């Protein structure tokens, strides 16, 4: 899959990443409003999920259960949902010339299944190549927050899902992996301090979006 041959240059793929309690939902809405104000056609979606089948897989993944979920099972389900999402939502939108704004993508798999679960990065990369080919985000906005602060926010949302029930070391490993990936790909990642007041977080997001829009014009 050669993404450069399959979408107009004006169509951009933007992902929003981060651990628990970083405010992705609130800030996804803000980014959507920003794109609308700038007359940019876009769709908003999420992972795992984004299609009826992928949402069913998401429900399997996040539901707390007595049976242990094998690491490879979790990893393969993530990429199964992603394959459906790419085929049915992401690529069709990009081909139409729309921007795609996605709540998490493959960086989350490296962070959660790679960093958190300890799955070999090379194994994830094999599945990434199989499912995505050359499809990668044009920009990734990483909402970063100290783990304990993020978990305190997340607990206010209600009953934790299967991932939110993990131990502190798991989420520290997730955050460390995100920050490592950002350091390895500074041209794609934009780190936003999500511990700041919301107005400051969104001011930072708007600055990064403006710079990205100007650089891609």
Please tell me the predicted confidence (pLDDT) of residue 6: 60
Higher pLDDT: 16 or 167? It is 16
Higher pLDDT: 76 or 161? It is 76
Per the prediction, the chain carries an average pLDDT of 93
Report the alpha-carbon distance of residue 213 to residue 216 in Å, rounded: 5
Please tell me the predicted confidence (pLDDT) of residue 113: 97
pLDDT digits (tens, 9 = 90+) for 40-62: 999 999 999 999 999 999 999 99
The pTM score is 0.93
Peptide bond into 203 cis (omega under 30): no
Please tell me the predicted confidence (pLDDT) of residue 50: 98
Please tell me the predicted confidence (pLDDT) of residue 164: 80
> pLDDT band for position 18 (50/70/90)?
very high
pLDDT average, residue stretch 188-202: 97
Burial pattern 189-199, b for ≥16 Cβ within 10 A else e, equals bbbbebbeeee
- Cβ neighbors of 214 (< 8 A, separation 6 or more) are none
Please tell me the predicted confidence (pLDDT) of residue 4: 45
The answer to whether residue 5 scores a pLDDT higher than 60 is: no
- The closest alpha carbon to 171, from 16, 15, 49, 22, belongs to 22
> pLDDT band for position 174 (50/70/90)?
very high
Report the alpha-carbon distance of residue 49 to residue 112 in Å, rounded: 16
- The closest alpha carbon to 63, from 72, 74, 52, belongs to 74
Please tell me the predicted confidence (pLDDT) of residue 2: 46
pLDDT average, residue stretch 74-103: 97
């Amino acid at each position: 899959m050669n993404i450069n041959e399959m979408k107009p240059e004006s169509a951009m793929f933007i992902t929003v990443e981060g651990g628990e309690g970083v405010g992705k939902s609130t800030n996804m809405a803000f980014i959507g409003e920003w794109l609308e104000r700038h007359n940019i056609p876009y769709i908003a979606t999420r992972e795992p999920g984004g299609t009826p089948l992928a949402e069913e897989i998401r429900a399997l993944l996040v539901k707390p259960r007595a049976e242990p979920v094998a690491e490879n099972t979790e990893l393969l389900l993530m990429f199964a949902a992603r394959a459906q999402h790419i085929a049915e939502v992401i690529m069709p939108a990009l081909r139409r010339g729309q921007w795609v704004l996605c709540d998490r993508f493959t960086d989350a798999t490296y962070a959660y299944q790679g960093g958190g679960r300890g799955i070999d990065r090379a194994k994830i990369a094999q599945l990434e190549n199989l499912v995505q080919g050359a499809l990668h985000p044009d920009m990734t906005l990483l909402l970063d927050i100290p783990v304990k602060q993020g978990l305190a926010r997340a607990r206010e949302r209600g009953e934790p899902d299967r991932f939110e029930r993990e131990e502190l070391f798991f989420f520290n490993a997730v955050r460390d992996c995100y920050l490592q990936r950002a350091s390895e790909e500074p041209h794609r990642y934009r780190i936003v301090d999500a511990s700041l007041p919301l107005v400051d977080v969104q001011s930072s997001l708007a600055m990064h979006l403006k710079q990205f829009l100007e650089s891609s014009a």
